[in-house]
Structure 1
Amino acid sequence: MQRYSKVMIYAHWATALLILGAWITSEGGRHMRENPSLLHFSLGLGVLVLILPRLISRLLGGAPPAEDDQSRWMTLAAKAGHGLLYVFMIGLPLTGWYAASRMGISVSFFGIGVPALTGAVQGPAGPIAEIHQTAGTIILYLAGLHAIMALWHHFVRQDGTLRRMNPL
């Protein structure tokens, strides 16, 4: 059994915790202007920060190949699912950062200020803010499906897929 690299394993679990924490600490709509969740911003930007080492590690061979006995469609579905998760892990923090900038909210990464991505506007933050809010729910469904598939591999197929991502 080939395992994921330590970088991939720890970044994976840290990202999962950051995404869950960002969702728990989120505030929607006009409440964000009145009482912005600085922890939400930091957790979301933490996801973005972890993407770079994850992608570098993946490109350098930190992710083992799929199990050989998988069907072709399962391998393609796994690749598509992982690709979609990466799109959301990059897109969500960027759209949140952009939406906060449009609302005139100062964003920081655990106390370190980051520049605004755009100028502040009066009124609604626009469709990017709505996309961010909807995508925040969608990524939870995707992550849940990801977890269900890992458990299916572990308990039904018994192929070691989940053990390859075990940090211990």
Structure 2
Amino acid sequence: MSLGNTERQFGPVARALHWLSALLVVAAIGLIESHDFFEKGSSARSLTAILHMQAGALVLVLTLPRLFWRFTQVLPSITPPPPAWQNGLAHAMHFVFYALLLALPLSGIAMRQAHGDVVTLLGVSLPALIAPNDDLHETLESLHELMGNAMILLVLAHVAAAVVHHRIQRDDTLTRMLPPRR
């Protein structure tokens, strides 16, 4: 069994990277959105923030091999082929996805470092690249939140598009990213 993509199907590596990234993005969103349910200074609130940061950092770690795999593998074709405008929109959406998968964790790391915090990934301290700076921290925090909201909208649009392709257009857009049926 090949690990790579074929003309008709994403391979197991592409599928694993996609679904693990999706799980981590949804976890990061869910954790930070649940953050405000807990009292300031509580251990539960701190834990949601820590887990959000770990999920985000893992997204960054996964995105690098994911990009490598994406650009070294064939892209399975969609059957029946969608209109050209849908292909263009899909490529634009994926470009923004990959940009956010990189920019969100990097801005989060920079934001925490500008706040003067030591940032860790699975217990390993990352090198401080930014000196504490309150103004920069506030700017990065606003940017991170804006990009996070854009990611939420993009995830919802991505899921909606997959459902439309599967249920209305009846093409294989969604099934290309699922394990092959036996």
Q: TM-score range by the shorter chain?
A: 0.7 to 0.9
Shift in alpha-carbon separation, 1:102–1:51, aligned structure 2, 3 A: same
Contact preservation (8 Å) 1:92, 1:132 = yes
- The worse-fitting range, judged by mean Cα deviation, of 75-84 and 110-119 is 110-119
Contact preservation (8 Å) 1:5, 1:63 = no
Inter-partner Cα distance in structure 2 for 1:167 and 1:140? 26
Shift in alpha-carbon separation, 1:138–1:49, aligned structure 2, 3 A: same
Among 86, 106, 109, the residue aligned to 1:94: 106
2:118 matches 1:118: no
Q: Which AA in structure 1 matches 2:97?
A: L
2:110 matches 1:104: no
1:117 CA displacement: 2.5
Q: Which AA in structure 2 matches 1:48?
A: L
Partner of 1:81: 93
Runs of 4+ in 1 over 3 A off after TM superposition: 65-68
TM-score (normalised: structure 1): 0.88
TM-score (normalised: structure 2): 0.82
Structure 2, unaligned stretches of length 5 or more?
1-6
Inter-partner Cα distance in structure 1 for 2:74 and 2:112? 34
- Number of equivalent positions: 165
Which secondary structure does the structure 1 equivalent of 2:141 belong to? helix
Q: Which AA in structure 2 matches 1:163?
A: T
1:147 CA displacement: 0.7
1:124 CA displacement: 7.0
2:17 matches 1:11: yes
Aligned runs of 1:29-108 on 2, under 5 Å? 35=46, 37-67=49-79, 69-108=81-120
Determine which structure has greater relative contact order: mean sequence separation of CA pairs < 8 Å that are 6+ residues apart, divided by chain length: 1
Among 151, 159, 165, the residue aligned to 2:171: 159
Inter-partner Cα distance in structure 2 for 1:9 and 1:22? 20
Deviations 1:57-112 (A, max 9, x none): 11111532344621111110110011011111110000000000011111111212
Task: Flag the structure with larger Rg.
Answer: 2
Inter-partner Cα distance in structure 1 for 2:179 and 2:96? 23
